[in-house]
Amino acid sequence: VEWKPNTASVTKKILKNGTEVDANSAGISDTVVYRLAGDIPNWTGYDKFRLLFEDTLSKGLTFTRITKVTVDGGLCTADGGSTFSVAFAPDSNGVSDLIAHKDRFPVGKRVVVEYEATVNKDAKINTGAGGTSNDNTVSVRYSHRPGNADDLGTTPGNTVKTYVGRLNVVKH
């Protein structure tokens, strides 16, 4: 019998005036704040346990910076780009290992990451009601086989949407 942890999960929201929403509207060069949240999976029985949040921004969004990470004082590193990954409790090689810092990553503890992205010139412009959006998707990767921390399972998260409108000015 092989012990496996509970399935890891992550949710994503847009923060609009401090409120979590699934969609927003913005203009080119506006900053959008995102929140990723999930719980530490059950790592009991593992010698090493990896946990990563992986985020994929559409072509119309540019990752700016991580503004907040909370995991009961936990450690975090991140790399930027149109896809980025947050590795919790990285070792000297940047590889996640929660077991090495298990006092800071207790099973079931809430993990929250907030970051900013800027709407750029490549954003899709919404020309109709409920039309084109700039999507932002998240997933979580985690060790799912004791004895092999590098064998990662992936659980998809949700997608949030940023709509960019067009303003037509007519001179009379």
Q: What is the pLDDT of residues 2-29, one digit of tens each?
A: 555 467 889 999 999 989 999 999 999 9
In this prediction the pTM is 0.82
Q: Which region among 77-91, 96-110, 152-166 has the lowest average model confidence (pLDDT)? A: 77-91
Q: Which residue has the higher pLDDT, 1 or 129?
A: 129
Give the max Cα distance, the chain: 77
Report how far residue 54's alpha carbon sits from residue 87's, in angstroms, rounded to the nearest whole number.
9
State the chain's mean pLDDT as an integer.
82
Averaged pLDDT for residues 24-40? 93
**Span 40-60, average pLDDT:** 87
Q: What is the DSSP letter of 103?
A: T
Q: What is the pLDDT of residue 89?
A: 66
CA distance 98 to 119: 34
Q: How many residues are present in the chain? A: 172
List residues bridging with 110 in a β-sheet.
39
Measured CA to CA, the distance from residue 9 to residue 142 in angstroms comes to 10
| Strands, sheet with 61-70, edge to edge from the N-terminal-most edge strand | 19-21, 11-16, 31-39, 110-119, 61-70
C-alpha 137/C-alpha 105 separation (Å) is 24
